[in-house]
Amino acid sequence: MLSRLTLALLLSSVILTGCDKAPPTTVAASNTAEPSVSTTIPQYSAEQFFATKTYLGNDINHNASALLVASDESGVFNLYRVSLDGKDWQPLTQSDSDPAFPVSWFPNDDRLLYTADQGGNELNHIYLRELDGTVHDLTPGDKLKAAFAGWHDDGSFFITSNERDARFFDLYHYNGTDYSRTLIYENNDGYSIDAVSKNGRYLALSKERNNADNNLYLIDLQAKEPSATLLTEHDGNVSHNVYGFTPDSSTLLFGTDGNSEFVAAYSYNLTNGETSPYSRADWDISFIYFSDDKKYQVQGINADASTVISITEQQSGQSLQLPPLPAGDLRGVTFSADSQYLSFYLNADNSPSNLYVWKLGDSQAQRLTQALDSSIDESNLVQSRVVRYNSFDDLTIPALLYQPKQASATAKVPALIWIHGGPGGQSRTGYSPVVQHLVNQGYAVLAVNNRGSSGYGKTFFHLDDLRHGEDDLQDIVYGKKYLQSLDWVATDRIGVMGGSYGGYLTMAAMAFTDEFKLGINIFGVTNWVRTLESIPPWWEAFRESLYAELGDPAVDGERLRRISPLFHADKVKKPVLVVQGANDPRVLQVESDEMVAAIRANNVPVEYVLFPDEGHGFLKKSNRITAQQAYLKFLQQYL
């Protein structure tokens, strides 16, 4: 896995990141970035925004009669069998506690695989649902974590699990009929298992050297003595990631930034061992995959915080022309086995992901869902704009700006800086009920992609290495200065909020600067020494990368304490709201408990919302509503 993407995911939240839409227009930092004309619009409640339904997954079954979809309409994500016309939604799971997420139909019948953890603890298991509705846990155990790793051409499948050694994931091959399994790769050397070829012969691995450098390896599982062969011999720091094997198991596709700032795609021929350039863009190539019948290729590019997807017919090299669609980004493009049907989601800032099915050749695609609650008019929601401003050292910082329709030079509004997780995450365009609700209530939002964010080249990504809470914090402060340059922002009413690493920078802003009127810390790190000493065991393969990025607590303890807000709580003088999940394995509850107690001891206003049934990100709809109401109440009181 590519180092920058690995680190971006480690401390980021599953529900606080934006979705994708079409490439936006870039706007230079200026106090006249948008005509400042206020508009009167209805204001909607948190309940209305979270009455919006979230859909995940759209795998098409073997005979193209149904989709496998998860929906949170019941309040908890459950699975549904959805007819291709969207008229029949058959519940497949009925959990009222642990969300269920789809993996895949079986290739030749309507058995299915799905995954779930327990109360947000991230110890996911793989479950199988039989045709009669019987459910089996294919990965039983109390402390293990498992993940689906792909299908074999013969209908068997692969699963990774850390049951043998909590630090590393082994690979198991499961029989598709009786579900018996065989351990086919015992991982004792800290590799990440990235892909298995569909013929079951080849295994692609990666191994981190530091947060800027890794290598890819290949194992021929049919060799007499299988061993890992290095594929990416190189000098210096170069990151690589695996896209996957081609459907005919002849080629491995991978990405690397070795020859440019951005990630380009290369192919490795499994027969002759030749590596060749495959695809290049002016941004990172995020993914490449194929329809099962090898007819189409799907490629995604991370273009300035939006995803641009192209679909190419392999034989002709021509782009597939989709029917007319509303404005937005494609997500989750999935073909039926014979490529006669195409399913996808369409998402935009003002429209949550809606599910579509298109029969290739038809003049129109069929929309199957209405995700936005019917009480909300999407024309009253706000589209973001990409803006850029200069930080303390003249580095250009990209950000997404949401201007409330109520805002004008004569009706100035308070503002919030939103900080993404990571540390190497990215604020991206797309629907966010958290952001849209706050903007609808009259709060401007600037979602900053501070130095260290993914998507802007490897140099930008590494500018915060061992500088966290220092240079990246100044990018947040200069985001405030940018907001103060806008004639429709109330310059003395600017707060800061964020989740995970964004929660850390929020607390750093409150402890190490006097710039912001308040802070909203959503499960943010406050004690880096403890966090880095207590990382989950299954992160062992990335430990050195984490230390290269953030510091080794055994070596860099003094610096880590210097940038940890908990040790400087006496400097927090403005109100803070802290929100935490009790089952969070990444940012432990004790982090927030101690931070709240320390602030409270100084007689500074602090509020605390703790969810006993959530982890690193809030999946239950009722809890998301409670958190959102707490944000708004806190802002109304102090901003």
Residues 86-131 have pLDDT tens digits of 999 999 999 998 999 999 999 999 999 999 998 888 999 999 999 9
Give the burial string for 408-441 (b: 16+ CB within 10 Å, else e). beebbbbbbbbbbbbbbbbbbbbbbbbbbbbbbb
Query: In the prediction, which pLDDT does 197 show?
Result: 98
Does the pLDDT value for residue 186 go beyond 70? Answer: yes
Give 259-307 pLDDT, tens digit per residue.
999 999 999 999 999 999 999 999 999 999 999 999 999 999 999 999 9
Instruction: Tell me whether residue 199 is exposed, middle or buried, using C-beta atoms within 10 angstroms of its C-beta: 0 to 12, 13 to 18, 19 or more.
Output: middle
Domain assignment present for residue 472? The answer is: yes
Domain count, the chain: 1
Residue for token pair 């930008």: 460
> Is residue 543 assigned to a domain?
yes
Distance CA 445, CA 468 (A): 23
Say if CB 13 and CB 617 are below 8 A apart: yes
Domain that holds residue 547: 385-638
577 in a structural domain: yes
Tell me if 573 is assigned to some domain: yes
d(C-alpha 168, C-alpha 189), whole Å: 8
**pLDDT reading at 515 higher than 90:** yes
User: What is the DSSP annotation of 311-360?
Assistant: EEETTT-PBP-PPP--SSEEEEEEE-TTSSEEEEEEEETTEEEEEEEEET
Q: Record the tokens describing residue 512, joined without a space.
A: 């190490």
pLDDT of residue 36: 57
Q: For residue 576, is it within any domain?
A: yes
Q: Per the domain annotation, does 555 fall within a domain?
A: yes
Q: Please check whether residue 126 lies inside any domain of the structure.
A: no
Confirm whether pTM is higher than 0.85.
Answer: yes
pLDDT of residue 15: 44
* 570 assigned to some structural domain: yes
- What are the pLDDT digits (tens) for 317-356? 999 999 999 999 999 999 999 999 999 999 999 999 999 9
Question: How confident is residue 23, by pLDDT bands cut at 50, 70 and 90?
Answer: very low
CATH of the domain at 607: 3.40.50.1820
Of the listed ranges 15-24, 30-39, 462-471, the one predicted with least confidence = 15-24
